[in-house]
């Protein structure tokens, strides 16, 4: 997958794209993350890419011309383009799955008070938000988008099944996890997890995931109940029990 990132601060991405799982994926050629500095396309002798907004107001707005130049340089007219913006569609598991199926896409990172609206209109850019809050720029949200999409690309993770098995992608929040030692400061690992009985372990994980989801994300729990299919008899009993529980 090829991802073009258009930004005023390309140096911000190196610690993320060159480290850990993403760094290994880039090194293997699974991911091709290309950073384009929008300032390289400004005609201003001071490399300014922003100006005061028409109509007044605080802050500065990124100008259309440098962004147009950056988009044209990566041939964005042939690709899906997203703009990281707090007013955009909320990034969720469905969007991430859809984007993981693409061969390439472009991320535009805004800064200051945003970008000239004509950029978004002309290029038919989809605005994407990672939450109902405002950050100083689109770079951090872009990193969130890249990381979440990359995890669903085959071979990026060591275990190809692990991305879809965990948390939101299964429809439930993830069950609690434990590792060595079995006892720490008086706290024990649940006995079932060291029993060696894989059926009981799977049922324990299912029960814990159901309880956590019902308690913390009742919206997800209700959706899971509506859509769940092909549960075993034991899983069905557990689900009925959790539905009746007051958490």
| pLDDT digits 0-9 by tens, 151-195 | 999 889 866 555 655 556 689 999 999 999 999 999 999 999 999
What DSSP designation does 196 have? -
- Say what the alpha-carbon torsion angle 65, 68, 73, 75 is, to the nearest 10 degrees: -170
Q: Which positions make up the binding site?
A: 110, 130-135
Q: Find out whether 182 and 188 touch, Cβ atoms under 8 Å.
A: yes
Distance CA 71, CA 75 (A): 6
Q: pTM score, two decimals?
A: 0.87
pLDDT at residue number 163: 60
- What residue segments make up the domains of the chain, in order of their start? 2-150, 170-244
Q: 170-244 belongs to which CATH class? A: mainly alpha
Do the domains at 2-150 and 170-244 have one common CATH topology? no
Distance CA 157, CA 24 (A): 10
Tokens of 162: 């692990």
A 10 A CB-CB count for 194 gives 12
Does the domain made of 2-150 have the CATH classification 3.40.1280.10? yes
Distance CA 68, CA 124 (A): 12
Element at 184 (helix H, strand E): strand 183-184
- Per-residue pLDDT tens digits for 11-70: 999 999 999 999 999 999 999 999 999 999 998 888 899 999 999 988 999 999 999 999
- Per-residue pLDDT tens digits for 58-101: 899 999 999 999 999 999 999 999 999 999 999 999 999 999 99
Q: Which positions make up the binding site for S-adenosyl-L-methionine?
A: 110, 130-135
pLDDT at residue number 123: 98
């Amino acid at each position: 997958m090829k991802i073009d990132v258009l930004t005023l601060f390309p140096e911000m991405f190196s610690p993320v794209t060159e480290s850990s799982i993403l760094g290994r994926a880039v090194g293997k050629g699974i991911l091709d993350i290309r950073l384009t500095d929008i300032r390289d396309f400004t005609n201003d002798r001071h490399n300014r890419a922003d100006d005061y907004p028409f109509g007044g107001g605080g802050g500065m707005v990124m100008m259309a011309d440098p962004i147009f130049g950056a988009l044209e340089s990566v041939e964005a007219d042939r690709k899906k383009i997203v703009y990281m913006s707090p007013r955009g569609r909320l990034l969720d598991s469905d969007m991430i799955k859809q984007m993981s199926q693409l061969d390439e896409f472009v991320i535009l990172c805004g800064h200051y008070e945003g970008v000239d609206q004509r950029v978004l209109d002309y290029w038919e850019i989809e605005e994407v938000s990672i939450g109902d809050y405002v950050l100083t720029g689109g770079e951090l949200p872009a990193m969130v988008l890249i990381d979440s999409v990359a995890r669903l690309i085959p071979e990026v993770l060591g275990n190809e099944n692990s991305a879809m098995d965990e948390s939101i992608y299964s429809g439930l929040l993830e069950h609690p996890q434990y590792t060595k030692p079995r006892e720490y400061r008086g706290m024990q690992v649940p006995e079932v997890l060291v029993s060696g009985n894989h059926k009981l372990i799977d049922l324990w994980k299912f029960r814990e995931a159901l309880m956590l989801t019902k308690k913390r994300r009742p919206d997800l729990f209700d959706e899971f109940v509506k859509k769940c299919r092909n549960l075993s008899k034991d899983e069905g009993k557990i689900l009925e029990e959790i539905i009746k529980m007051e958490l």
